[in-house]
Structure 1
Amino acid sequence: MRYFRVTRGSDQRLVASDGETAYDLTSASGGPATVEELLASADEARQGLDESAEAYLDDAEECEFDDDDVVLPVEPPEVWASGVTYQISEEARQEESDKPDVYIDVYESERPEIFFKATPSRTVGPDEAVGIRADSTWDTPEPELGVVLFDGEMVGFTIGNDMSSRSIEGENPLYLPQAKVYDRCCSLGPCVVSLSEVDDPHDLEMTMQIHRDGEVAYEGTTNTSEMVRTCEELTSYLTRHNVVPRLTVLLTGTALVPEGDFTLREGDEIEIDIEGIGTLTNPVTTV
């Protein structure tokens, strides 16, 4: 199942789609209004996410919605991210930095790079603007598979955009928090896909296009099979000796980095597609 949060006038509803029919779970008696509520219900009943949703389907109204109705699917108190999980990411970090050895060490080490990415106030949903810092001169999106965690366990997947200031991080790796954490620095969506819907999260095609002035300014394709870490491994390191909120999203790194000195501009549009999940689209603004 895919789970969307959809606006209906002033209301927001939780909609489950099996690819053929969409069901307004919120319309069912006692139906959940958010993915987090559905996950809590599943946990209480010791069920999987889809199994819990199926309990509401007979009582839920069938519905239709379009892309304009879809909003941020989850609002995790914390979004975390992983770095240097693909070879091209390691190469890009070396390119931007005067201290490339630290990225080589992370790529080859047992311990991955895990860093704090965003709070709800810094996270946007589909078709909302992502930000580039006004004090940065080199900015790129980072399309990533997002792992949705509940009580520290993997329960689903989404798409994430880990917006980054390469000029700030390139000055000094210790500036990473400023390069990564700022207004509108993260987008998630368009939905949450349950674990059972994805046969293998390490074999998904991922594409990104950046549109500028009506033309494609960048286009790239990769596959999550190119990751040198697994989702389980990254989750394990995130939750070691670290109590994360009950609902958390972990971004798993990128392999799509625009070449050379390409930088985002205000008015660009970023389109990220991951096989089996959907397409996340965001315009770009300066913050």
Structure 2
Amino acid sequence: MKLVRYGQVGEERPGLIDADGTLRDLSDQVSDIDGSTLAPATLQRLAALDPSDLPRVPGTPRFGPCVGKVGKLVCIGLNYSDHAAESGLEVPSEPIVFLKATSAITGPNDEVELPLGAEKVDWEVELAFVIGTRAKNVSKEDALSHVAGYMILNDVSERAWQAERQGQWTKGKSHDSFAPMGPWLVTADEIADPHDLNMQLDVDGVRRQTGSTRTLIFGIDHLVSYLSGFMTLEPGDVVTTGTPPGVGLGLRPQVFLKEGQVMRLEIDGLGVQQQKCVRRAAS
């Protein structure tokens, strides 16, 4: 299934995309696409529905983040061997983990705000997954059974804030709008192999990132097992798995986002998202 949340900011309703690409409303079935909906029994119930019996949503409403009420947004750094190479850094011996504020989460096609004083805002196309059942100290062999589905996430980053100022990466990753998510959550049963997905990102029509999850250093099963030893992963928690090469920081000369530029992201089977970069006056 392709599960979505559609409507104005803060008023999103649950829906699904049927085989013909039509948006269908799920409001009579579930209250939201969130941790309470992602349990295996609920997903099985939704999968058994005949989409043609669900109300068709007219027009082209805004898509919100495809998962609501995210408890934790956990990020993995330097998780592609070719991205580590372009960064001039050694392949890590274990996952690099940081958190991104959930207030950064926005819809897949919402505008990305360039923060006041920011000069090095960068793009990162990433495969993300959402937890469907509670995971604590799980084995690698059992790890994928805790994953409800997959999505695209743009891990937008302000590189100077991330690396040139004291403290953690989190402050360079967490500005409002720095985590566009979606367009939809694709349930795990529809992704034959999450470790064999092509991914790409364009800026103003120029290809910047071309990669594949085949070059992941730590796979999704490893990440679920590893993270669950440090923190309990709850239903609705999102983990984003790192980015392939081609980020602005790694280009020579370096290139960063400017007002008016448009990013377009795509991953096999997970759809397309697109954001325009804007600046807003201080409030």
The answer, yes or no, to whether TM exceeds 0.5 is: yes
Aligned to 1:138: 120
Deviation readout 1:28-51 (Å, 9 max, x if unpaired): xxx1132226635x45xxx372x2
- Confirm or deny that 1:129 pairs with 2:111: yes
Query: Aligned to 1:82, which of 70, 76, 82?
Result: 76
SS of 1:36 mapped into structure 2: coil
SS in 2 for 1:225: helix
Q: Distance in 2 between matches of 1:143 and 1:245?
A: 24
1:228-276 Cα offsets, whole Å, 9 max, x none, are 1101111222221312443111000001423221010121111100110
Alignment check: 8 A CA contact 1:25 1:60 kept: no
Aligned residue for 1:197?
Answer: 190
The answer as to whether partners of 2:114 and 2:278 remain within 8 angstroms in 1 is yes
Conserved? CA contact 2:200–2:207, under 8 Å: no
Q: How does 1:238-277 map to 2 (within 5 A)?
A: 238-255=227-244, 256-258=246-248, 259-260=251-252, 261-277=254-270
Distance change >3 Å, CA 69–CA 175, structure 1 → 2: closer
Share of identical aligned residues, percent? 24
1:219 to 208, 211, 227: 208
Q: CA deviation at 1:174?
A: 3.9
Q: Single out whichever of 219-228 and 188-197 deviates more from structure 2.
A: 219-228
- Could you tell me how far apart the structure 2 residues matched to 1:244 and 1:140 are? 28
Displacement of 1:226 = 1.4
Structure 1 residue 123, shift from structure 2 partner: 1.0
Report the more deviating stretch, 59-68 or 220-229.
59-68
Q: CA deviation at 1:61?
A: 2.1
Cα pair 1:84 1:253 within 8 Å, conserved: yes
Normalised by the length of structure 1, the TM-score is 0.81
Which has the larger share of strand?
1
Instruction: Quote the offset at 1:53 in angstroms.
Output: 0.5
Change (3 A) 1:241 1:170: closer
Q: Which of 226, 236, 250 pairs up with 2:225?
A: 236
1:47-100, Cα deviation, whole Å (9 max, x unpaired): 372x22034437942425565432221121221110111123213444xxxxxx
Superposed, which structure 2 residues align to 1:4-83 within 5 Å?
4-7=4-7, 12-20=12-20, 22-27=23-28, 31-36=29-34, 39=37, 42-43=39-40, 47=41, 49=43, 51-57=44-50, 60-64=53-57, 68-75=61-68, 76-83=70-77
Aligned length in residues: 263
CA spacing shift, 1:68–1:48, aligned 2, 3 Å: closer
Q: Is the 8 A contact 2:131 2:233 kept in 1?
A: no
Q: Which amino acid aligns with 2:96?
A: E
> 1:79 & 1:130 partners in 2: Cα distance?
18
Q: 1:123 to 1:176 in 2, by over 3 A?
A: same
Q: 1-side partners of 2:129 and 2:237: how far apart?
A: 8
CA separation of 1:176 and 1:269: change in aligned 2, threshold 3 A: same
Give the root-mean-square deviation of aligned CA atoms: 2.7
Does the 8 Å CA contact 2:4/2:183 hold for their aligned counterparts?
Answer: yes
- Which residue of structure 2 aligns with residue 187 of structure 1? 180
Runs of at least 5 residues in structure 1 that lack an aligned partner in the other structure:
95-102
Find the aligned partners of 1:48 and 1:189 in 2 and give their Cα distance. Answer: 20
CA distance, structure 2, for counterparts of residue 172 and residue 92 of structure 1: 22
Change (3 A) 1:90 1:132: farther
Q: How far 1:137 sits from its partner (Å)?
A: 2.2
